[in-house]
Amino acid sequence: MTELITLNRRDLLKTTTGILTGWVVAGTPLALIAPARAWAVNLAAFTSSEGAALMRMARTIAPHDKLDDAAYALVIQAVDADAGKNASTLKMVKEGLASLGADFAASSEDERVEALKKIESSAFFQTMRVKTLQVLYSNPIAYAYFGYEGEAFSKGGYLFRGFNDLRWLPEVPAKDSGPLPARA
Amino acid sequence: MARIEFQDESAVVIIGSGAGGGTLAHELTRRGIKVVVLEAGKRQSTETFSQVPGEAFLQLTWLDARTQSGDWGVAKNFPTLPAWHCKTVGGTTVHWTAATPRFEPWELRAKSTYGNIPGASLIDWPISYVELKTYYTLAERRLGVTRRNGEPGMPASNNFKVMYAGAKKLGYKRVHTGHMAINSRARDGRGMCIQQGFCVQGCKMGAKWSTLYTEIPRAEATGNLDLRIESTATRIEHGENGRVNAVLYRDAQSREQRQRARIVCIAGNGVETPRLLLLSDSSKFPQGLANSAGQVGRNYCHQIIGFAWGIFDKPVYSWRGATLAGVIEDEVKNDPSRGFVGGYRMELCTLDLPTLPLVGLPYGWGRDFASIIDNYRNMAGMLINGEDMPRAENRITLNRDVKDGFGLPVANVHVDEHPNDRAMRKHAQTQMSRVYESIGAKRVVLGPTTPATHNTCSARMSADPREGVANAWGQTHDIPNLFISDGSAMSTPGAANPTLTIVALALRQAEFISREMKAQKI
């Protein structure tokens, strides 16, 4: 979330052509880490309706119903940044969206899947697929949602924070395991 | 650190600073031999290692252009990245997961043990197990390998508890937390493993052995090492007598430099080592160096690799703990009744959240794909590490249509899988699935073959000079002062992760080189 907010402030200085906004849903993992309830992502390369269509596309590629829109907005922000830097990417995405039609964002999931299957081999779809996977699962919102705890060195590793706390299976006998150090 | 003059003809030049090059550098310098190490990458440290998965990948990985061809899964799934190894001081020992099993004695006699396998270019190693064993013991002491020489094993993690319970259900016997080059207790001036689960990003504890913070600084402390970072070797030169005498390289500013050499040792990993030999063609050696038999780049092996993910209805938190500390070794045997020759290990494995969907899962998107990741907390993981068949046509060649940053042809990696490879993978995937299903997995997901980290055999040692590139010492058959000092020299890949064997061979090669230098033979 911090990255969202920071990026927005910087981007406000530039010309904004579109905007994605949302509310953090109370009770979700994101609500615990988000500094504010409302979020907004300004788009430089895409219009609001293009941004909304890309959001639906990302949600169709990696549908996690309870994962907050803010996580998907980060994907769109990344695509927007790429398109802002590279004219051919911008063209590819705009043309790809146009080929999906104006109704894409409002259509049912089955219809969206059907539409995306038809363009699955296109550079547009593959770019969006890879970008979605790269960005969606590598930010604090996703970490909180999927329960991933990430970097551990700064917290002393997982040695005393649950690396062996599984109790629903038998313990491994000492001969096939190794000694645990005493807690300092 | 020493400063060795460009014109100094007495130096040994080692190309690469990983398991092979870094170990060799230490062994030679501590014997008083002047060594120049040319390392293409930068120097990181436990302080600078990034712990952001994607960033760490970019920090450590060899990302220069390569192409590939053939029917193996990597060509389809990872078209721009056939191999996944490092470009940094310490080489691939920076991102390795530190599993250090030995070869089985019969694996060194692959041709004799497996017989005549059509479509495979098997040979026996020119070294016996008894001979190699001495160096395995030395290497294990050097690396502090667990469950050897009195070093305690790693403590069982959650992920291993799952693997262990399933393996025992199936009746497997050789199941334990692995022989790991990770400190299970503080030793050798390095701390103990604190179970970070970030082995692949570089161990910030330094608990995992890497030449970056063991062999290299020790070599520097002798005063005999001149380590040149961001220095990419582009050609090895030779004199009228056919002996190599200099290495051309590009420094950090892309300037061409020439370092004179008494001996040249190549340890650039299984793709770059043969590429450099091929790039060094001359009127005397039109096929490239050490290639009179046409064997350079051939018989490239990468081992059979592939993930299995067991999804349970209770949490595993597989990312907590040393990534690969666990193994089932019962399938490391040659039992053709399974439908293939050679053996495989099942090794504990996990991937961080950002990497899992990109590398660990089969190509996909949509509901089913997302539902797997929804279960990330409840996933246990392991992978196959099996012996693949060497084939003459599975090879590293120069792709003259694609150039690197210096305008030189990039390597093309060609792999057509042998039927034995496919049969082994199928068997291993069935067994891995059974391990998880036997203890109630809701679902098992089989992952793709990932870009190869165990790049081996592409400049192999052979008793018969027509069948390989180097002799039993890694000394090339054609040129007595040119050595292969990395996994490229392995005669066959076996089912063991290669690093321990690479270190053992480097220790052995260092003795040979220093002896031959004293005797003025090279």
Interface with chain A: mutation pick from B157, B351, B359, highest number of A CBs within 10 Å: B157
| Residue B264 Rama label (left phi>0; alpha psi -120 to 50; beta) | beta
Alpha-carbon span B372 to B196, nearest angstrom: 24
Number of CB pairs < 8 Å for A and B? 158
pLDDT classification of A22: cutoffs 50, 70, 90: confident
- The predicted pLDDT at position A2 comes to 44
pLDDT of B194 reads: 97
Mean pLDDT of B348-360: 95
pLDDT over threshold 60, residue B322: yes
The 3-state secondary structure of A107-146 reads CCHHHHHHHHHHCCCCHHHHHHHHHHHHHHCCCHHHHHHH
- Tell me which of A93 and A39 has the higher pLDDT: A93
Q: Given a cut of 70, is residue A6 above it in pLDDT?
A: no
Between CA A142 and CA A135 the distance in angstroms is 9
Strands B379-386 and B304-311: antiparallel
Strand partners of residue B236: B247
Greater pLDDT, B53 or B383: B383
What pLDDT sits at residue A15?
A: 60
Q: What is the pLDDT of residue A38?
A: 80
Burial class (CB in 10 A: 0-12, 13-18, 19+), B363: exposed
How confident is the model over B464-492, as a mean pLDDT?
A: 98
A31 band by pLDDT with thresholds 50, 70 and 90: confident
Q: What is the pLDDT of residues B3-36, one digit of tens each?
A: 999 999 999 999 999 999 999 999 999 999 999 9
Yes or no, beta carbons of A64 and B353 under 8 Å apart: no
Over residues B253-264, mean pLDDT: 98
Query: Min CA distance, B184 vs chain A (Å)?
Result: 8
- Which helix (H) or strand (E) segment is B443 a member of? strand B443-446
Mean pLDDT of B433-460: 96
B142's CB contacts (< 8 A; 6+ apart) are B23, B214, B503, B507
Q: How far is the C-alpha of B325 from the C-alpha of B337, rounded, in Å? A: 30
Give yes or no for residue A23 having a pLDDT over 50. Answer: yes
Distance from CA of A181 to the nearest CA of B (A): 8
Percent of chain B with pLDDT over 70: 100
pLDDT band at B2 (very low <50, low <70, confident <90, very high): confident
Q: Which two tokens stand for residue B471?
A: 């002799």
pLDDT at A13: 45
Cβ contact, residue pair B158, A165, below 8 Å = yes
How is domain B1-49+86-96+101-145+210-301+456-522 classified at the CATH fold level? Answer: FAD/NAD(P)-binding domain (3.50.50)
Model pLDDT, residue B423: 98
Q: Which residue has the tokens 């645990």?
A: A180
Q: Do B353 and A152 touch (CB under 8 A)?
A: no
CB A1 within 8 A of CB A34: yes
Q: Where does the pLDDT of residue A9 fall: very low under 50, low under 70, confident under 90, or very high at 90 and above?
A: very low
pLDDT score at A21: 83
Out of A133, A147, A158, closest to residue B197 by CB: A158
- What average pLDDT score do residues B117-130 get? 98
Residue A5 has pLDDT above 50, yes or no: no
pLDDT tens readout for residues A116-170? 999 999 999 999 999 999 999 999 999 999 999 999 999 999 999 999 999 999 9
B165 and A64 within 8 Å at the Cβ level: the answer is: no
CA B425 to CA B423: how far, in whole Å? Answer: 6
Query: Could you tell me which residue, A181 or A160, shows the higher pLDDT?
Result: A160
CA distance A12 to chain B (A): 27
Tell me how far apart the alpha carbons of residues B64 and B88 are, in angstroms, rounded to a whole number.
13
Contact A178 B146 (CB under 8 A): yes
Tokens 């927007």, residue? A80
Q: Is B153 in contact with A177 (Cβ distance < 8 A)?
A: yes
Chain B nearest-CA distance from A159, in A, is 5
Q: Give the C-alpha separation, B61 to A149, whole Å.
A: 24
Q: What ranges make up the beta strands (E) of B53-171?
A: 67-69
- Within an 8 Å CB–CB cutoff, is residue B353 touching chain A? yes
- Give me the mean pLDDT over the B283-303 stretch: 98
Give percent of chain B above pLDDT 90: 97
On chain B, the residues whose CB falls within 8 A of the CB of A172 are 156, 160-161, 164, 177
Domain range annotation of chain B: 1-49+86-96+101-145+210-301+456-522
pLDDT in tens, B355-386: 999 999 999 999 999 999 999 999 999 999 99
The three-class DSSP label of residue B216 is helix
**Band of pLDDT at residue A11, cut at 50, 70 and 90:** very low
The DSSP-derived string for chain A is -HHHHHHHHHHTTS---EEEEEEPPTTSHHHHH-SSSEEEEEESSS-HHHHHHHHHHHHHHS--TTS-HHHHHHHHHHHHHHHHH-HHHHHHHHHHHHHH-TTGGGS-HHHHHHHHHHTTTSHHHHHHHHHHHHHHTSSHHHHHHHT-----GGGT-STTTTTT---SSPPPPGGGS-PPPPP-
Q: Are B354 and A141 in contact (CB under 8 A)?
A: no
Residue B487 Cα, gap to closest chain A Cα (Å):
30
Q: Give kind and range of the element (H or E) at residue B257.
A: strand B256-260
Query: Residue B225 pLDDT more than 70?
Result: yes
DSSP states along B458-503: TT-B-SSTTS-SB-TTSBBSS-TTEEE-SGGG-SS--SS-SHHHHH
Return d(Cα B287, Cα B281) in angstroms, integer: 6
Mean pLDDT of B208-225: 98
- The percent of chain B in helix, strand and coil, each rounded to the nearest 5, is 30, 20, 50
| Burial (Cβ within 10 Å: 0-12, 13-18, ≥19) of residue B401 | exposed
How much is the pLDDT for B76?
87
Mean residue pLDDT of chain B comes to 97
Summarize pLDDT for B130-165 with one digit per residue, the tens. Answer: 999 999 999 999 999 999 999 999 999 999 999 999
> What tens digit of pLDDT does each residue of B161-177 get?
999 999 999 999 999 99
Strand-pair category, B327-328 with B175-176: antiparallel
Query: Which secondary structure element, helix H or strand E, spans residue B514, and what is its range?
Result: helix B499-518
What is the pLDDT at residue A20? 85
Contact B454, B330 (CB under 8 A): no
- Helix (H) or strand (E) segment spanning residue B46: none
Helices (H) and strands (E) in chain B, counts: 11, 17
Which residue is closest to A165 within chain B, CA to CA?
B158
As a whole number of angstroms, the distance between CA B403 and CA B66 comes to 9
Burial A92-101 (b: 16+ CB within 10 A, else e): bbbebbeebe
Binary contact (B194, A150; C-beta < 8 A): no
DSSP at B343: -
